Structure 1
């Protein structure tokens, strides 16, 4: 980029993070006719760079004939880089305002990330019109002294990726559990049925005599993420699921839909008062046929995340 049409400038007090270049007797430097001054090498993001100052501008000027002070960032030691190298960096260039004690910060507002490669080792801007830069009341050139700077952040993909999928009706996301001899079970017992869905181990929990607020009056039914202890802190497995007790005579099932994010600390999720024990044991209602209870868990949506190195 060889003009400042797409550059954006704002001011800040904080100095450049990586490099500053002070020029004393700037007008003398201009009069030498030097086209380009290259600073010493500095390091940022694991690469070596130079700040390149064009005292009389790098471009030929705009159609109105204005001339600029141009400042560019140059990638050094490219011969040491592997074949077909490419470096992507987001950088800002600076000019110090001596009057306000702030730095004019210039960055491409449309394309802040620049791609350096074999045929493009320099990127920068026409920072300021020469007329503005030379005007001491603007604060950039005071007593023939000026200060420039650079801040460079190299973007290096780590290769780590996470893919989150919200699976609708995931494969194997359905479990039917037939519990025989139900009336003979210990009312204080906890029954568990394990199954696998979304690469995770789950289990249906049934409390024949109820749990907590449902104890003695209701059947309690829950879904539990068995391997929740393997989850990282704050990681959640999101699920929308149904738990149901089948009416084996009339297909008038008792079912509820739940939505929950299962974490490492999550207890089983469901209902303490899933259905009254009176309804459960009423033969005509069909929930217990041949003393067998049928409970189902059905995932409607389940989050599955995969990590790639």
Structure 2
């Protein structure tokens, strides 16, 4: 976010944004969406947002799609500022040496899971919707990270984190499926993740080895960058 240094302390800017990629053959734009980050609240410790997976490289470089022509591509961005506000109370973020937490989770009998969602129980809980949620129901796996006991946080406390979730290639000869994001956890905002984490069809592909002997292995990595507290 450009010009952030010109804004007053305590500012927040709520935006709705989307990115575009031009099909240079047809003169039309592909709209790039990610429902988890299209709407963002920018503030002093969250000045950027990005798409972890924009478009498959094979599709991007395919000449018939027109995205890369003459070694040139054209991107566009559309940003709507929904609201700007200055918080009534200031916040202080204490930046720590990076604290990293990793939590592996092995789920057996994956295809026989009966519940709409299941969760692990570490410091942060992984919450999995094996058959999807909301618009991704029936075609995507949904995966979220949640604070186990957000009420234990002191009032006004926020935890600045960088989150990486992986579904593991269990044969070790291919890439893991990875999504990354940033989140400011608090008592009122203790849940973050991806409704469209991974297509169910892709999860079950035998050549990817994400689902082996009906068992799925995943991992959450949480980096805590700092703790914020509201000043009186």
TM-score by length of 1: 0.41
Contact 2:158 2:228 in 1 (8 A): no
Residue of structure 2 equivalent to 1:258: 181
CA distance in 2, matches of 1:303, 1:224: 17
Task: Kindly report which structure 2 residues correspond to 1:163-174, keeping only aligned pairs within 5 A, or say none.
Answer: 164-170=94-100, 173-174=101-102
Q: Could you list the per-position Cα deviations for residues 2-42 of structure 1 after superposition, in whole angstroms to 9, with x for gaps in the alignment?
A: xxxxxxxxxxxxxxxxxxxxxxxxxxxxxxxxxxxxxxxxx
Contact 2:158 2:227 in 1 (8 A): no
Task: Kindly report which structure 2 residues correspond to 1:115-264, keeping only aligned pairs within 5 A, or say none.
Answer: 164-170=94-100, 173-186=101-114, 188-196=115-123, 202-249=124-171, 250-264=173-187
Displacement after TM superposition at 1:251 (Å): 3.3
Aligned length: 137
SS at match of 1:183: helix
Greater gyration radius: 1
TM-score by length of 2: 0.54
Residue of structure 2 equivalent to 1:66: none
SS at match of 1:224: strand
Structure 1 unaligned spans of 5+:
1-161, 197-201
Displacement after TM superposition at 1:299 (Å): 1.7
Which consecutive aligned stretches of 4+ in structure 1 deviate over 4 angstroms post-superposition? none
Contact 2:174 2:208 in 1 (8 A): no
CA distance in 1, matches of 2:215, 2:148: 25
Displacement after TM superposition at 1:258 (Å): 1.1
Q: Which has the higher contact order (CA 8 A, sep 6+)?
A: 2
